[in-house]
Structure 1
Amino acid sequence: MITRRSLLAQGAASAALLAAPKLALAEISLGSATLTTVSDGSLSLPGSFVTGNLPDSATDIIKSYGLSTETYTPECNVTLYRDGTNTVLFDVGSGPDFMPNAGDLFDSLDAAGVALEDITHVVFTHAHPDHIGGLLDDFDDLMLPDASYHMGRAEWDYWWDPETVNTIGEARASFAVGAKRRLEMLEDQINFFDAGDEILPGIAAIATYGHTPGHMGFEVRQGSQSAMVVGDAIGNHHVAFHHPEWASGSDQDAETGINTRKMLMDRMANEQMTIAGFHLPNGGIGRVEAKDGAYRFVSES
């Protein structure tokens, strides 16, 4: 019997023959569990996305990393946690329609040997398009129909509110429309949580508000080993680390975003906890190191 799902599977298989493999980017062990990042591609944004309204020294910081100040091309790293019982995907990438160099997540999972049927849970950090856009297939069905879906209650309420599209600002109005359309597909099966809740064994929600009103990070712990999935609470490995107290233009609430970054930097540096960042380089897994009154990102790969 030919179904919409089988047609998509055939199309994905044909595309995979033409595309280069997108293997796992980085991986660490947490006791008997593994934390892996897989690629959803990258974004292409103007350099002003990072440097806008910041002191001129921001461009000097970026140049010191050998990066362009004209174009910002961050990686998109989706985190996958496997403990032998649960296979948990943190966010679902952007899907095929957000940017031409993004939307690679499901090819990347396939190349890493992870079948869509293997995913038991999807946990969202927030509902921006590069994190929730991959929720639906070409027929507006769920890409992962058998998974259990989880989102912070405050994040859901914000994007579900019909007034959000009118108050978020013209530049982000399409974000609100896209998020609402996708959340409507999850209305009957979403599982809500609040900051401090243990969502699944070994996975606790941490309030990392600011980038969006209900943005969540997640502490993943097995025994004495732990890591923090930070989503977009730390948006880059240069300016955000050198000056976490500077406002980020990508944060919807700049002041709250500053407080969150400072909290995360201080805690991660003091505890030497591994972090997994959606837009951090080399797969996004690494450590925060305090250095000369600032911080730096030390990649694990």
Structure 2
Amino acid sequence: MSFTRRTLLGGLAAAPLAAAVPRMATASLSLGTAELTTVSDGNLSLPGDFAFGSMPQDELLPILAEFGLSRDSFTPDCNLALYRDGTNTVLFDVGSGPDFMPTAGKITDSLAALGLGPEDITHVVFTHAHPDHIWGLLDDFDDPLFTEAAYLMGRAEWDYWWDPNTVDTIGEARAAFAVGAKRRMEVIADSVTLVEPGAEILPGIAAVASPGHTPGHMAFEVRQGGAAALIVGDAIVNHHVAFRKPGWESGTDHDPALAVQTRRALLDRLAAEDLTLVGFHLPGGGIGRVDRFGDAYQFVEGA
């Protein structure tokens, strides 16, 4: 199946009624004297071909069946990482906001459940600029939601979405993604700090290059008190196929071949170092670890 903007957005509008009630899982992890919590933005509801269309169907279907999933839809959770060290309250990505889909855009409710409001966020750190990660920057009135926050994004990611040629080269299905990203980035253009891979962007938080899902996608390693976690954004986009068949290319990625290289490298590192994983679209709040067996991996929920 080839995708156009019409078929993609049509698929979003035709999401099953069962997906109309968002899933709101959360999880928490202590890192020394700091706390890393995932706050839910709900979940996405996408047509299955968007994620699975390019994969070997005879091998795909048994994997999905094992996890109790349908080939017809892709409905991942959306977990935003919230890091609090007593000085900074850092939110990684901002969710979908009110304009993407009805099952997502729930971040303010999740923050309220923790006794927090958008004004309590001191820093917003972006893994990348897809709608479910940056469209929540603006509220229902198109005003900035996180009014007291400083903003940080990888320089390569910023440059890609800021480039006026991107909307014409990204493909019809994702043209709206480019327009929406640019509109929100214009709001923070005078206050954003652009960061490079390897830099310590905040105390205990280092940027890790993880391109492929988008050209400048960034993961973030958080270390405090001898404990560590790796916030991977969408570099590992699900808990089933991405782990069982990490070499399969996915339609969710901008550069599928590069995304495979990144995914394998991250999974290798997570398993070898027994490093805690925080995944934006992983289940149970997205915090867990990675077990390796042969050329495949398994996501194990829980810190």
Deviations 1:226-249 (A, max 9, x none): 000000000100000011111111
- What is the aligned partner in structure 2 of residue 250 from structure 1? 252
Please tell me whether the aligned partners of residues 98 and 139 of structure 2 are also in contact (alpha carbons under 8 angstroms).
no
How many angstroms apart in 2 are the aligned matches of 1:150 and 1:64? 39
Q: Which one of 218, 224, 239 corresponds to residue 237 of structure 1?
A: 239
Q: 1:266 aligns with which of 261, 265, 268?
A: 268
Bigger drift between 286-295 and 99-108 goes to: 286-295
Partner residue, 2:87: 85
> Does the 8 Å contact 1:43/1:73 carry over to 2?
yes
Residue 72 in structure 1 maps to residue 100 in structure 2: no
Question: Residue type matched to 2:111 in 1?
Answer: L
Structure 2 CA distance for aligned equivalents of residues 300 and 248 of structure 1? 26
Which residue does the alignment assign to 1:180?
A: 182
Give the Cα separation in 2 of the matches to 1:176 and 1:45.
18
2 CA distance for matches of 1:21 and 1:217? 26
Shift of 1:147: 0.5
Q: Which amino acid aligns with 1:108?
A: S
State the alpha-carbon separation in 2 of the partners of residues 174 and 46 from structure 1.
17
153-162 or 112-121, which deviates more = 112-121
Question: 1:287 maps to what in 2?
Answer: 289
- Provide the C-alpha distance between the structure 1 equivalents of 2:230 and 2:290, rounded to a whole number of angstroms: 11
User: One-letter code of the match for 1:124?
Assistant: F
Could you tell me which of 94, 97, 113 is aligned with 1:95?
Answer: 97
Change (3 A) 1:249 1:226: same
Distance 1:246 1:21 in 2: 28
Q: State the match for 2:16 in structure 1.
A: none
Q: For 2:85, give the aligned amino acid.
A: D
- 4+ residue runs over 6 A deviation: 20-24
TM-score normalised to structure 2 length: 0.90
Partner of 2:125: 123
Q: Is the 8 A contact 2:25 2:283 kept in 1?
A: no
Structure 2 distance, partners of 1:265, 1:50, is 19
Q: CA deviation at 1:118?
A: 1.6
Q: Per the alignment, in what secondary structure is the counterpart of residue 96 of structure 1? A: helix
CA displacement, residues 44-83 of structure 1 (integer Å, 9 cap, x when unaligned): 1112222211112112101101112211111011110001
| Cα pair 1:22 1:112 within 8 Å, conserved | no
Structure 1 unmatched ranges of 5 or more: 1-19
**Paired residues of 1:22 and 1:111 also in contact (CA < 8 A):** no
Task: Please say if residues 230 and 275 of structure 1, whose CA atoms lie closer than 8 Å, have aligned partners that are also in contact.
Answer: yes
Q: Percent identity?
A: 63
Q: Is the 8 A contact 1:245 1:258 kept in 2?
A: yes
Residue in 1 aligned with 2:53?
52
**Partner amino acid, structure 1, of 2:97:** G
**Which letter does structure 1 place at the counterpart of 2:76?**
P
Question: Match of 1:28?
Answer: 29
1:157 paired residue among 156, 159, 171:
159
Deviation at 1:261, TM superposition (A): 0.2
User: How far 1:100 sits from its partner (Å)?
Assistant: 0.8
Q: Which letter does structure 2 place at the counterpart of 1:220?
A: V
- Using structure 1 for the length normalisation, give the TM-score: 0.91
Distance of aligned partners of 1:21 and 1:172 in 2 relative to their CA distance in 1, 3 Å threshold: closer
Residue identity matched to 1:224: G
Contact 1:24 1:108 in 2 (8 A): no
2:24–2:41 contact (8 Å) kept in structure 1? no
- Report the CA distance between 1:201 and its aligned residue: 0.4
1:201 equivalent among 200, 203, 218: 203
Q: For this pair of structures, how many residues does the alignment match?
A: 282
Which amino acid in the other structure matches residue 29 of structure 1? S
* Pair 1:41-2:42 in alignment: yes
Cα displacement (A) at 1:145: 1.3
Q: Distance in 2 between matches of 1:24 and 1:170?
A: 33
Aligned to 1:63: 65
Question: How far apart, CA to CA, are the structure 1 residues paired with 2:278 and 2:235?
Answer: 11
| 8 Å Cα contact 2:49/2:72 also seen in 1 | yes
Q: Give me the whole-angstrom Cα distance separating, in 2, the residues matched to 1:21 and 1:249.
A: 24
SS in structure 1 opposite 2:231? strand
Question: What is the distance in 2 between the residues matched to 1:116 and 1:176?
Answer: 25
Supply the AA of the counterpart residue of 2:172: E
